[in-house]
Amino acid sequence: MSVSDLIEGFKPRTPWHDMRKILRLSGVDAGNGYLKTAEKHSKSSPDKITKKRVVKSLSDAYKQHLLYGQKAVQIYKLKTGKVGELATQIAGVKPKKSSFSKSYPLPLSEEKLKSITKEETVLMDVLQDGTQVVFSGKRSVNEKTSLTKAELTDDALDALGDVVDIQVYCKRGMQFFDVVALYPSRDEIELRIDIGYGMRRQDRVNAFRELRKAFHQLIDSEFNHPPVLGTAVDFRCVIDSFYRDEKNQSGARVCELGFVTTENSVKRESMRQKDLDLREELYHSAGREKLKEEVGDIKPFLLAMTWDVPITKEVSTTPELMLPGNSRHQMKSTERLTEVIISHCCGQKDYSFVQQRIRNYLSNEQ
């Protein structure tokens, strides 16, 4: 495994501004973008000791990112003691060989992935005494792409007329790394699906279903254990608390907000710069105060926040939490929000920071 191999492994699922911080934390020199960085290290000739140190450091960072970077998350509560029992049993499971295990923890090459026609979720690794279970496989996602007029037929051009921007969704096969995390001390199981290459809501729904199925098949085939993942935690109850209370406690910034007014209009606002807080933006704050005076406060249904999390004295990351609700979550009491999206984490430290913020508000609501 080389530095260039690891950089290529990061590339499909890690934004470059996150990658620069990972390289810096790993003590690896960065170039101008993925291509220049890979070229830089492929041409360099460090001594064996330096090369070994750099590869190990970046390899450790890569494995951390597989577990914690760019994930959509669900949480399941289990009976007292059940999660600990499962972790103890799972710790002894040995993954079977598969098409994906040959290159693990790196993904397959694009050519090899294309040759795999069957979409499945297979066990890849069991880590940390059975509390981190990694699955991988091939998944088709709907990817939005732009077309130029040169790519269209004459009939299509006639039908589109003066349309300038042409965007379509197409199916694309991607390799994923999903995680089932077991927390015995909290009697919780957390599902983390890999969304590093971008996923629409329905694709995430399908991915969570497949991961639940794979985990249940694992515990059934290994221990003859019945399914344990019932109803996921509903995050809808914490959106309002995050919006109103979070800043004073941790320096959080709201970068996107969807809300319903008391006059029943639906609004969605976002900041171009995610280091600014939408709640302090004059248009939003003045409008909200006027609404409170006249008819009542807004009711948030979607929210995205960022924080600055120090990893070392020199490097801080900017993880983002998205609570991806829609207006139905305010209109209908039966609508549930069973996922959050945690992105731009470099590893366990910043992921755990966001995770703890969520748990604080969930515990207050229970």
Q: Which amino acid does the sequence have at 117?
A: T
- The reported pLDDT for the residue numbered 292 is 76
pLDDT tens, residue by residue, 177-231: 999 999 999 999 999 999 977 788 888 999 999 999 999 999 999 999 999 999 9
How many independent structural domains does the chain possess?
3
Q: What does the block give as tokens for 49? A: 């000791």
Residue 138 lies in a domain: yes
Burial call 24-62: b when 16+ CB within 10 Å, e when fewer: bbbebebeeebeebbebbeeeeeeeeeeeebbebbbebb
Q: Which amino acid does the sequence have at 125?
A: D
- The reported pLDDT for the residue numbered 73 is 97
Which portions of the chain are predicted below pLDDT 70? 45-47, 49, 143-152, 157, 162-166, 168-169, 248-249, 329-332, 365-366
If asked whether residues 269 and 354 sit together in one domain, one would say yes
If asked whether residues 352 and 217 sit together in one domain, one would say no
If asked whether residues 92 and 218 sit together in one domain, one would say yes
- The reported pLDDT for the residue numbered 208 is 96
DSSP state of 119: -
Residue 230 lies in a domain: no
Contact (Cβ atoms closer than 8 angstroms) between residue 10 and residue 19: yes
Residue 336 lies in a domain: yes
If asked whether residues 129 and 104 sit together in one domain, one would say yes
If asked whether residues 204 and 266 sit together in one domain, one would say no
Which residues touch 70 (CB under 8 Å, ≥6 apart)? 13, 14, 194, 195, 196, 343, 344, 345
- The reported pLDDT for the residue numbered 248 is 62
Residue 229 lies in a domain: no
- The reported pLDDT for the residue numbered 134 is 96
If asked whether residues 45 and 86 sit together in one domain, one would say no
**Domain stop point among 181, 197, 223:** 223
- Give the global pTM: 0.88
**Domain stop point among 194, 223, 252:** 223
- The reported pLDDT for the residue numbered 165 is 66
**Domain stop point among 68, 91, 116:** 68
If asked whether residues 193 and 306 sit together in one domain, one would say no
If asked whether residues 253 and 320 sit together in one domain, one would say yes
If asked whether residues 93 and 195 sit together in one domain, one would say yes
If asked whether residues 99 and 166 sit together in one domain, one would say yes
- The reported pLDDT for the residue numbered 366 is 60
Residue 191 lies in a domain: yes
Q: In angstroms, what CA-CA distances link 270 with 29, 263, 281?
A: 34, 21, 10
Collapsing DSSP states into helix, strand and coil, what is residue 18?
helix
If asked whether residues 279 and 346 sit together in one domain, one would say yes
- The reported pLDDT for the residue numbered 361 is 87
Which residues touch 247 (CB under 8 Å, ≥6 apart)? 253, 254, 277, 279
- The reported pLDDT for the residue numbered 71 is 96
Residue 9 lies in a domain: yes
Residue 189 lies in a domain: yes
Write out the residue range of the structural domain in which residue 88 sits: 71-223
Which residues touch 341 (CB under 8 Å, ≥6 apart)? 71, 72, 73, 195, 320, 321, 322, 324
Cα-based angle 88, 63, 144 (whole degrees, multiple of 5): 115
Dist CA 100 CA 250 (whole Å): 40
- The reported pLDDT for the residue numbered 110 is 84
If asked whether residues 199 and 144 sit together in one domain, one would say yes
Residue 231 lies in a domain: no
